Structure 1
Amino acid sequence: MERIYIGMGSNLAEPAEQLRSAVQALAQLPDTQLVGVSAFYQSDSLLPGQPRYTNAVAALDSLLAPLDLLDALQAIETGQGRERLERWGPRTLDLDILLFGDRLIDEPHLKVPHYHMQARAFVLYPLAELAPADLRLADGRLLKDLLAACPFVGLERLPPA
């Protein structure tokens, strides 16, 4: 089994409830064990005029192949009402593979480590709750160095529900 980290986000249709439902769906994936879930965080959208996002990270141990997991994540998104109308539009649920063991993946529809994660506090800080302090990404970067370069600005850690 490989340790996989999944970024989760929602800014439509009761975002915190969308993430809780996603966690339940992740726990039901075949050949997969849900290991942990970070706290939920709120942040402003990267684009003006959109509702605030609620984000978290889940840790999985899985035997699924990367593209099979991607298909399963997209099925969960669709099941929770995700419509892919525009690339950066508001969404009921967004599930992204951030890290997949120590693999570098460069497929047309899947890049791991997830692109731009180094600049997104709403990804790095929840990830740091679950990952080992000395986590080294497959591309050689250290999580602690990414955190040091990405201040905890604009994030609000939500109390447990």
Structure 2
Amino acid sequence: MKPILTAAAVAALVAVALPAAAQNAGQIARVRAGGSCAGCNLFQAALSGLEARGLNLSRARLRQADLSLVVINRTRFANADLRDVEAYGGVFSGSNFSGANMTNASFVGAYLDGAAFSGATLSGVNFSGASMRRATGLTQARLNQACGDEATQLPGGLSIPRC
């Protein structure tokens, strides 16, 4: 039993000593050039102003990325890590955010008409001024964890707490 504990202790020390997985510059460059990158590490990527259509960023790590003023319609963000993303004024028409973790992201003034949010985590998301009239998969319970303002446009019958 002692050798097993020793091996486990060594493995734990090695894991702590290794640096955390940071962004991948090559993968960020691929997306900046308009390429898909499912499962990529785009942590803190500066993608502001990107114009592309139909990207596959499913399961990608976009935590703390700058997606402000992007125009990336019909992009797949299914099961992606979008925590703390800045997406001010972004255009995401018809995009798929199903299962994405969007905790504390800012989609202020974003255009999200036709976007899918089934199973997405919306805790702390700021949707102030966002257009989401034709969005699908939104529930009142999930929206109650987010916030918006009087300019936030939602599908009929849904509301959002004020920020």
**TM-score w.r.t. length of structure 2:** 0.28
The structure where helix makes up a greater share of residues is 1
| Structure number, greater radius of gyration | 2
| Larger relative contact order (Cα-Cα within 8 Å, sequence gap ≥ 6) | 1
The structure where strand makes up a greater share of residues is 1
